[in-house]
Chains A and B, each alone.
Chain A
């Protein structure tokens, strides 16, 4: 046995800790939070302005009533519900990347999980607003909650709207918990290097984190369990949203395929939104060393997979309508493709089912401008998918005597634009206050690689 090296004297050991050099990962990733260009302030200012414009329109709508938003028979679920479903869909990529890829030990998620989790939270918050915007007497919207009241009245738990309330509020809560728990070690990193107001903020939010064994052990287990809980949750949320439609007997809605169809569509649109946001972020903040083309290529593969599922669902819907022999169903689907909303339908089919097929080619998957353009087109296509389902369904029900035509109104347009500004505003603020890439998780990989290199050298 090799004898241990001779011990230094105790006196020699009492000395101040030597200077250490900060981690490059810390410097690079905390650097994103420092300073802000005129472009950043301009963009943030524009978002705040649009949110205020949308807010003013909403106040006017509350005063005048939903009539100004074009809510009239037979279409009482207009662009607000279309946009609600759109944002709930966007919210799905965050949990998928964070939870499901974590359970599968897909390490490539580390570069994008934080931004995707943040997007999830902001998208759910944006979606939740539409539930209030959409109801006529929004000051009574708390009626949806089961609370004790003087009438001895309880909510009806057989209603899909109640399921929706529970699913969306659970999803918002768990997404916020997931994001916050994951942020704690990174907030401590920021705390150790911040001054002034930020030091106070990060000290408070990092909750006394020091990276001890107890803390890491509890943190790992917590992330694992939250992932385990969030995985079925993410599948349930959009299933429940789809049942808002599928439980009704409206032609084009009443289909068992709706749950998997909506879940695949949600993941599809969520990944597209992550690409739409992260491609410019990577470019602006020079994060090419952390978010590589490999990450974008993997996301492109997911988009291709979910596009095939969504495309299959589009075809299956038509098949089911034809094979069922139900005239109302057949008529609804004929009108989708060749009726007054044919443009929306073909935008949906081309953007979601056809164009993503270029991702079969590696050249397209690794060409960032192509991915960016495609991701924007997919976002447009997915908004139109919900438009097609909701609007064509409601405007052409069983009795032709009550058919109607929907045109988007200016209040709807203003509030829908405002929702994009609302989402972007939160994301821009997040960029400058919190680490956009999970620093500790990136370090785990960096240190492991260094350990392997050292072992190799020996």
Chain B
């Protein structure tokens, strides 16, 4: 399948091109950006990132673990002080709070690695260091017959260059 790479200098142009390309029914679109730009990200996929689910799971696991280990340990090694209950919830809330943050933060990082498809060290063949300079790249996979239409679409939105990557 041919892929067409369009290179842009501004996020607005990139987002407009992506919106138009999606409206024409092309779905296999990859973009490269030098910095975070919401307009570009929303043009490709308006759904929020699934990282939030990982944070939620981590946070809940943390708060449960925090209370569970403190209450269980206090009852497993009982300290008899003035007839007071072995467990004391107010100080244990501090441990539960810290573990909520710790587990939530670590799970958020895990979510980033999974949802961002990190740890894949082989670079895409279209990746170019200019995308870590100040240029934006839009790669669209299409049928051979659609190449001319895509090229004109990319250029109509101000692409600085359009390159056919493979046929």
Contact = CB atoms under 8 A, between A and B. Distances in A.
Interface stretch (A79-87, A219-227, A353-361, A423-431): A219-227
Interface string A1-37: 0001111101001110110111101100000000000
A17 B163 contact: yes
Nearest to B31: A213
B30 A440 contact: no
Interface in A24-77: 25-26
Contacts of A203: 121
B97 A220 contact: no
Given A23-B134, A218-B111, A7 B148 contact: yes
A218 B115 contact: yes
Interface string B103-137: 01110110111011111111110011111111100
B132 A189 contact: yes
A214 interface: yes
Interface string A233-266: 1001000100000000000000000000000000
B98 A236 contact: yes
B101 A170 contact: yes
Given A13-B162, A15-B163, A218-B49, A4 B152 contact: yes
Given A222-B108, A440-B34, A447-B10, A214 B101 contact: no
Interface stretch (A173-181, A337-345, A370-378): A173-181
Nearest to A20: B130
A179 to B, nearest CB: 12
Interface residues of A, number: 78
Contact of B131 (A158, A210, A222, A448): A210
A283 interface: no
B28 interface: no
Contacts of B147: 10, 13
Chain A interface SS verdict (over half): helix
B6 to A, nearest CB: 10
Contact of B161 (A17, A23, A232, A240): A17
A210 to B, nearest CB: 5
Given A166-B94, A215-B116, A229 B131 contact: no
A162 interface: yes
A214 B115 contact: yes
A211 interface: yes
A152 B79 CA distance: 13
Contacts of B149: 7
Interface in B131-167: 131-135, 147-149, 151-153, 155-156, 161-164, 167
B10 A152 contact: no
A23 B41 contact: no
Contact of A210 (B127, B130, B161): B127
- The 9 A-B residue pairs whose C-beta atoms are closest, nearest first, are A218-B116, A154-B73, A192-B129, A444-B35, A7-B148, A221-B49, A222-B112, A218-B115, A20-B130
9 contacts: A7-B149, A7-B152, A17-B130, A155-B73, A166-B94, A212-B32, A229-B55, A440-B34, A450-B9
Given A213-B40, A222-B51, 4 more contacts: A13-B164, A153-B77, A222-B108, A236-B94
Interface of A: 4-8, 10, 13-15, 17-18, 20-23, 25-26, 146, 152-158, 162-163, 166-167, 169-170, 173-174, 177-178, 181, 184-185, 188-189, 192-193, 203, 207-222, 225-226, 229-230, 232-233, 236, 240, 440-441, 443-444, 446-448, 450-451, 454-455
